[in-house]
Amino acid sequence: MPTIKFTEAVVRGLTSNGKARVEYRDTDVPDLLLRVTRNGVKSFSVFRKQRGMGSAIRVTLDNWPRLSVHEARQRARTAAASLGQGVNPNEEIRAAAARKTAEAARNEITLRIAMQEYFKVQSLRPGTELSYRRDLQKTFGRWLDQPLVMLAPADVKAAHKRRSSESRTRADGALRALKAIRTYASAQHDLPLPAITGRTVRFNGTPTRTTRLAGDRVAWIRKVRALPDSDRRGGTSTQRDALLVLLSTGLRLREVCHLRWDEVDHAAGILTIGVDRHKGKRGFVLPLPPRAAAIINARHSTREEGEKFVFPGGHKGKALDRIARGTFALIGIKCTAHDLRREAATAAAIRLPLAFVRQLLGHAAKAGNVTEGYIQPSNDELREAFTQVEDALYAGVEIAPSSKPARTRRLVKATKVAKATKPTEKRALH
């Protein structure tokens, strides 16, 4: 191998002499080699043994003239020193290239891409996914097609503040969705994303609503029952029935509005809310109290052939989507669908054990509550209990309750016996 002193002029004039490739060694830095190919490509490299290894290792530096002779000598000394210490520079080069590739890939992960991936793996309910999309578009729309790593905490804070001036609840919804997507993307793609909540951005902390019918219950039921009949799909009669079932069962609005006939067991008198439609993703069975059962049975007897939903919407094949503002205006008493759920829950909590109330609302038992694990009521026992709740909700509306369960009669009788014996007990003590 020819040994010469590398200079810019000398390197410029070197050729392969017609061979496929020829290597030259530098006199100043003996570990520095210059390979010249038949096509005139000239590349610098270091070729020497690594400490602790048997064979020599080639470390390619770069091509001339992109890498000058002076720079090649500096890098050759550094590479040779690393090899002398038992460190292979090629591994460092590959690691650096991998980091560069990963960084480029991370920069391609936009908020929109991360959002789509998150929705695919999370299997959110359609309503929740739609809410997330709307909130993110409205609050962080300008960053949807930018790299997720470019969305700084300061930007999040400013966008959240702007959206809060319009709707504090929806601003918190967008922030909650963004936080979930960032957490997923950070773990999935190893993105270096700083925290956005805590000291940087704070949730508005929308207070929990506590409204219910309370003193307006009797008037509200009478107003709803007086809503006019309508032959139109999704009209006032359909909405009237949905509202009354909401009150009797304590179900959520979407659970009632999207109720399908295949979820109704008429013989057993129960509803089965599937995992795909239940907010808690567990699904549950709800025995129907008499008034709710009567409404659903009446709708079943008059349903159109092939109708899928118990409460059909305005378009064929679609479920009732919501209770119209005009319907609420006809009722004339301020009340939301979730107010009815709170009304039913309150009436149940006054009369039933907590385990029964959880069953009515479709809530999971508290983790670690061993006692509740032993409470396993049958559907008939639940229906009897829920009938007491429905009777209480309709108290003052009807002359007599729909039914008086045997358990209630026994409790009343026992109470009368206890009252009759109390004076005797007092006289005996004296």
DSSP states of 312-334 as a string?
B-SSTT-B-----HHHHHHH-S-
Run of H or E residues at 284: strand 284-287
Is 237 in contact with 230 (CB distance < 8 Å)?
yes
Does residue 100 have a pLDDT over 80?
A: no
Does residue 224 have a pLDDT over 90?
A: yes
Query: CB within 8 A of 390, min separation 6: which ones?
Result: 248, 289, 290, 291, 292, 402
- Residue whose tokens read 């690393």: 82
| Secondary structure (3-state) at 57 | strand
Q: How far is CA 406 from the centre of its chain?
A: 45
- Residue whose tokens read 């009368």: 416
Q: What is the pLDDT of residues 29-74, one digit of tens each?
A: 998 999 999 889 999 999 888 887 777 888 889 899 999 999 999 9
The CATH superfamily holding the domain 3-105 is Integrase, DNA-binding domain (3.30.160.390)
Q: What count of other Cβ atoms lies within 10 Å of the Cβ of residue 384?
A: 18
Q: Within a 13 Å sphere around the CA of 360, how many CA atoms are in the beta-carbon half?
A: 33
Give φ, ψ of 342 to 5 degrees. -65, -35
Closest CA to 254 of 279, 233, 224: 279
Q: Give the start-to-end residue ranges of the domains of the chain.
A: 3-105, 111-189, 214-393
Q: Within a 13 Å sphere around the CA of 129, how many CA atoms are in the beta-carbon half?
A: 12
Rounded mean pLDDT of the chain? 85
This prediction has a pTM of 0.61
Q: What is the pLDDT of residues 357-396, one digit of tens each?
A: 988 888 877 766 777 778 888 989 999 999 999 999 999 9
pLDDT for 277: 81
β-bridge mates for residue 24, sequence order: 34
Tokens of 8: 């810019």
Q: Alpha carbon of 298 to those of 192, 246, 293, 340: distances in Å?
A: 59, 16, 8, 22
Q: Which residues of 177-205 are buried (b: 16+ CB within 10 A; e: fewer)?
A: bbbebbebbbeebebebeebbeeebeebe
Question: How far apart, in whole angstroms, are the C-alpha atoms of residue 108 and residue 191?
Answer: 11
Confirm or reject CATH 1.10.443.10 for domain 214-393, answering yes or no.
yes
Q: Within a 13 Å sphere around the CA of 47, how many CA atoms are in the beta-carbon half?
A: 11
Closest CA to 246 of 320, 305, 173, 190: 320
